[in-house]
Structure 1
Amino acid sequence: MTATPAGRATAAAPAPARRPRTPAGRAGRAADVLALAVLPLLAALALPAAFAGGGTRRWFGGRAESQRAEAQAAKDAAASAFYELDTAQRDLRISMETITAVDDSPAARRAVADFEALGQRIDQASGRYIQAVDATDLDRDDLEASAASRARADLTAAKDELLNVKRELDRFSSGLGPLLGKAETQLARLAPAVERARQALLAASNALDAVRGAGLRADDLAARLAALAPELTKLNQGAGQHGVQPTLERAERVSREAAAIGAEAGRLPEKAAEIDHRLVSLRTRAQALTTRSGQVDPVLSELRRRFTIACWQDLQQVPEQAAQNVRQAEAKLTEAQAARDAQRWPDATALLSTVRALLNTTDEAVSAAGDRLNRLNAVQKDPQGEIERTRFAIRDAQRLAMTGRTTPDPRHARPLDDAVARLERAITGLEGRHPDYWHFLTETDTVRRTAARVVAQIREERGAGH
C-alpha cells in the first residue's frame, strides 16, 4: 500500500473478505491498521468504531437493528403478559379447588365448566405465544429486517391475545366472590366443627363414667356412644378423604348425638329417683283405689233401692271392672319394679305410664258411682234448681242473639227454640210416680251445651266482622 499527498491510500493487496469474528482477531487487525501510517484519519477512526461493540452480528445498518430491538421489546412484553396470565390462572385454580371441595350446587358446577372453557382459551393463547417465540431467532447474526418486523407483529398479536384472555380471567374471578366466600366460610368452620365433635364425645364418655361410678349401668347410652366410633374415625381421616361438606355434616351430627347422650347420662340419676318415686306413689294409689272400689257396692245398692233402673244400669260393672283394673295395675307395677332393678329405664317408664292410665280409668269409674248418687239426690230433692240453671243458660243465649237486631238470625234462633222445647219435655218427664231423674239430668246437660255452642258461634261471627 502507498500513500499520496492528498492523503488517499491505495491497497497493495486485496481487502479481507470478512471482519474479524472474535475479540482477538479484531485487536490484531486494529494493530495492523495502526501500523500503516499512510491510512487517512477517517479510515483509522472508522475501523475501531466498526469493531468496538464486541458482538458477533453482521452489520446490516440502522433499520435492521431497530427492527430487531422492536421485536425484542415485543417479545419481552409478550413474555410478561404470558407470566401474568399463568400466575393468575394458578391463583384462580386454587380458588376453584376451594369451591369444588365444598360446594356442589348448580352455580358451583357452572363455575367449574366456565373455568374449564377459560382454560382452553388460555391454552390456545399460550400456544400462539410459544409458536411466535419459536418462529424467529432474534439473536441470529443474519436476521433480516423483514423477519424482525414479522416477529414483532406476531409477538405483539400474541401479547394482545394473552392480555385479552387475562381480562376475561379477571372478570370471571371477580364473579366468583359469593361462591368463594361461602366456600371459605365453610372451610373456616371445618376445624372448629370437628373439634366440637371430639369434645362432645369426650364429654359424653366422661358423663357415662360418672353414671357408672354412681352404680348405674346405662347400657343403652353406652351402646349409642359406641356406635359413634366409626364416625369419629372418619372425622380423624379428614376432609381430604371424605370431602368438606360431608365432614361438616358428620361433625355436626356427631356433636348433636354425643351431646344428647351426655345430657341423658347427666339426667340418669334424676330419672332413677323419679322412677322410684313414681313406683311408690302409684303403688299407694292402687291400694287406695282398692279400698274405694269396695265402697261402690253400697252406692249401687242405694241407687237400686231408690231410683229407676235407667239411673244405675250403666254402673253395674264398675266394682268388677275396678277390681280387675287394680289387679292389672299391680301386676304392671311389679314388672316396672323389675325393669327398674335391671336399669331398663325405657321399659320401666312405659310400664308406669300403663299403670297410671289403668288407675285413672278406675278412679273415674269409682267416682262416677258416687257422683251419680249425689246428683240424683240433689235433683230429687230440688229439681227446680236444675231447671232454673238451664233456663238461665237459654235466656242468656237468646239475649245475645237479639243484641243489635230486631229479629234473630235463624241459625241461632232455631237451635235455641229446640233447646227450649227439649227442656220442657224433660220437665214433663219428671211427672209421674217413678220419674227418670238421670234422663232429666242428661237432657238438661244437653240443653246447656246447645246454648253454650250458640253463644260461641255468635261471638266468633261478630269477632270476624260479620
Structure 2
Amino acid sequence: MALPALAVLALPGAFAGGGTRRWFGGRAEGQRAEAQAAKDAAAAAFYELDTAQRDLRISVETITAVDDSPAARRAVADFDALGARIDEVSQRYIQAVDAHDLDRDDLEAAVAARARTELTAARDELVRVKQELDRFGASLEPLLGKAETQLARLAPAVERARQALLGASNALDTVRQRGLGADDLAARLAALSPELTRLNQGAGQHGAAQTLERAERVQREAAAILAEAERLPEKAAEVDHRLVSLRTRAQALTTRAGQVDPVLSELRRRFAAACWQDLQQVPAQAAENVRQAELKLREAQAARDAQRWPDATSLLSTVRALLNTTDEAVSAAGDRLARLNAVQKDPQQEIERTRFAIRDAQRLAMTGRSTPDPRHARPLDDAVGRLERAVGGLQGRHPDYWHFLTETEAVRQAVARVVGQIREERGGGH
C-alpha cells in the first residue's frame, strides 16, 4: 500500500542514499548558492585570463620570430613579468577553490560566506590582471602588425628564390647546349645549394628574419647568374669582334709607325733640336708597344678558346690601352710637323689668336669697373709679358717654334683661368 507523500518526507534518511544534501535551513543554502555563484564567476574569469594569455603568447612569439629589436626584447620581458603576475593570482584562485568544498552536506553558513568572499576576491584579481594583459596586448599592435607583414612576405620570398634558382639552372643548360662553357657560373650556382636547403627547412628552424634575408639574397644571386648566363653568347660574340678589330688596328699601327721616321727626318732637317727631341723614341716605343699588343692578343685568343671570359676581357683591355698609347705617340709626330709648318709659314695667326684672348679677358675684367681688380689685372699683365717674350723668341736663324707654340698655349690657358674666376665671382654675386 502506498504511503502519503508527507509520510515519505518524514522517513529518517529519506535523502541520505540518493546523493542529495541534508537540509539545514534557508540561510545556509542561500550562502552556499552565493558562494557557488562566486566560484562560477571566478572560474569564468580564470578561463578568460588563461585564453587571453595563450592568445597573447602567440602574438609575442610572432613578434620574436621576426624582430630582434630592443622594443621586441622589451615586449618579451614585459610579457614574462605579466606571466609571473598571472601565475600568482591563478595560484590564489586555485587555493581559494581547494580550500572550500561547497558540496559538503554540513556546510555552515559562515564557512560558505567566507568562501564567497575569498572567491570574489580571487575573481577581482583575475579580472584586474586580465585588464593589464589587454592593455599590454594593445601596446603590442604596432610591433605585431610589422611582424605579421614580414611573415606575409616570407612564403612569396622563398618561392621567388626557388624560381630564381630554377631559372638560373635552366639558363646554364641552354648555354651549355650551345657549346659555351659556364663553369664559373655553375660553381656560383652550386654554392647556393646549401642556402636552398636552409630555405626548405623553414623559418621555424632558422628564424623568419634570417629566412627572409636569405631568400632575398638567394634570389638576387640567382638572378645575377641568370643574367650573366643569358648574356654569355653576346659576350662571346663581343670578344670575337674585339679580337678581330684589335688585330686589324695593330696591323694598321705597324704601318703608321713605319711612317714616323721620315717625319722625324724632316723635323731634324728643318727645325731646331728642341722642336723634335722629345719624339726621338717614338718609332722604337711604337714598335715595342705593337709587339706587346700582339703578344697579349695571342693570350686573349687562348683565354677565349678556353672560355675564360674575364681573362680574355682583361687582356683585350690591355691591348687597347697599348694601341691607344701607340696611336697617340705616332699621331704626335705628324701633328708636330703640321703645327710647326703652319707657324713657320705664318706665326702672326698664332700671335693674333693669343692677343685676342688677352684683350677679351681685359674687357671682361673692366666691365662695370673704373679700375680692374688687381687679382685679375696682375695675371693678365703677366700674360701680355709672356706673349711678348714668346714673340721675341722667334728672332734668329733657327727659332724654337715649338717653344713658341707651347708658350702661347700656356698664355691662353692662364687667361682662361682668369676669365673663369671673374665669371664665377660675378655669378656668385647675383
What TM-score results when the alignment is normalised by the length of structure 1?
A: 0.88
Q: 2:120 corresponds to which residue?
A: 156
Q: 2:223 corresponds to which residue?
A: 259
Show the 5 A alignment for 1:8-407: 31=4, 34=7, 56-407=20-371
Query: Gaps (5+ residues) in structure 1?
Result: 1-26, 35-43
Q: Distance in 1 between matches of 2:127 and 2:426?
A: 75
> Secondary structure at 2:429's aligned position in 1?
coil
Q: Distance in 2 between matches of 1:76 and 1:305?
A: 123
Task: Tell me which amino acid in the other structure corresponds to 2:287.
Answer: A
Task: Tell me which amino acid in the other structure corresponds to 2:394.
Answer: L
Show the 5 A alignment for 1:420-439: 420-439=384-403
- Deviation track 1:79-115 (CA, whole Å, cap 9, x = no partner) reads 1100000000001111111111111111100000000
Query: Gaps (5+ residues) in structure 2?
Result: none
Q: 1:6 corresponds to which residue?
A: none
Q: Distance in 1 between matches of 2:244 and 2:25?
A: 118
Task: Tell me which amino acid in the other structure corresponds to 1:115.
Answer: F
Q: Distance in 1 between matches of 2:429 and 2:5?
A: 125
Identity of aligned residues (%): 83
Q: Distance in 2 between matches of 1:220 and 1:377?
A: 57
CA contact (8 A) 2:15 2:22 kept: no
CA contact (8 A) 2:82 2:133 kept: yes
Q: 1:38 corresponds to which residue?
A: none
- C-alpha deviation, 1:32, in angstroms: 9.9
- C-alpha deviation, 1:465, in angstroms: 2.3
Task: Tell me which amino acid in the other structure corresponds to 1:123.
Answer: D
- C-alpha deviation, 1:58, in angstroms: 3.5
- Deviation track 1:407-454 (CA, whole Å, cap 9, x = no partner) reads 222222221111111111111111122211111101000010011111
Q: Distance in 2 between matches of 1:408 and 1:73?
A: 105
Q: Distance in 2 between matches of 1:398 and 1:76?
A: 104
CA contact (8 A) 2:296 2:315 kept: yes
- Deviation track 1:39-85 (CA, whole Å, cap 9, x = no partner) reads xxxxx9x959x979987434332222221111111111111100000
- C-alpha deviation, 1:396, in angstroms: 1.5
Q: 2:420 corresponds to which residue?
A: 456
CA contact (8 A) 2:45 2:126 kept: yes
- C-alpha deviation, 1:306, in angstroms: 0.7
Q: Which moved more, 1:358-367 or 1:231-240?
A: 231-240
Task: Tell me which amino acid in the other structure corresponds to 2:253.
Answer: L
Q: Distance in 1 between matches of 2:214 and 2:120?
A: 54
Query: Structure 1 residues 32 and 262, CA, compared in 2 at 3 Å: closer, same or farther?
Result: closer
Query: Structure 1 residues 32 and 279, CA, compared in 2 at 3 Å: closer, same or farther?
Result: closer
Q: Distance in 2 between matches of 1:328 and 1:33?
A: 131
Query: Structure 1 residues 429 and 74, CA, compared in 2 at 3 Å: closer, same or farther?
Result: same
Query: Structure 1 residues 318 and 165, CA, compared in 2 at 3 Å: closer, same or farther?
Result: same
Q: Distance in 1 between matches of 2:201 and 2:95?
A: 46
Q: Distance in 1 between matches of 2:245 and 2:270?
A: 38
- Deviation track 1:147-192 (CA, whole Å, cap 9, x = no partner) reads 1111111111111110110011001101111111111111111111
Query: Structure 1 residues 55 and 233, CA, compared in 2 at 3 Å: closer, same or farther?
Result: closer
Q: Distance in 2 between matches of 1:33 and 1:252?
A: 86
What TM-score results when the alignment is normalised by the length of structure 2?
A: 0.96
- C-alpha deviation, 1:293, in angstroms: 0.3
Q: Distance in 1 between matches of 2:348 and 2:199?
A: 79
- Deviation track 1:358-384 (CA, whole Å, cap 9, x = no partner) reads 000000000000000111111111111
Q: Distance in 2 between matches of 1:99 and 1:286?
A: 66
Task: Tell me which amino acid in the other structure corresponds to 1:258.
Answer: A
Task: Tell me which amino acid in the other structure corresponds to 1:456.
Answer: G
- Deviation track 1:186-231 (CA, whole Å, cap 9, x = no partner) reads 1111111111111111111111111011110111111111111111
Q: Distance in 2 between matches of 1:462 and 1:52?
A: 116
- C-alpha deviation, 1:134, in angstroms: 0.9
> Secondary structure at 1:464's aligned position in 2?
helix
The structure that has the greater radius of gyration is 1
RMSD of aligned C-alpha atoms? 2.0
- Deviation track 1:283-312 (CA, whole Å, cap 9, x = no partner) reads 000000000001100110111111111000
CA contact (8 A) 2:31 2:113 kept: yes
> Secondary structure at 1:71's aligned position in 2?
helix
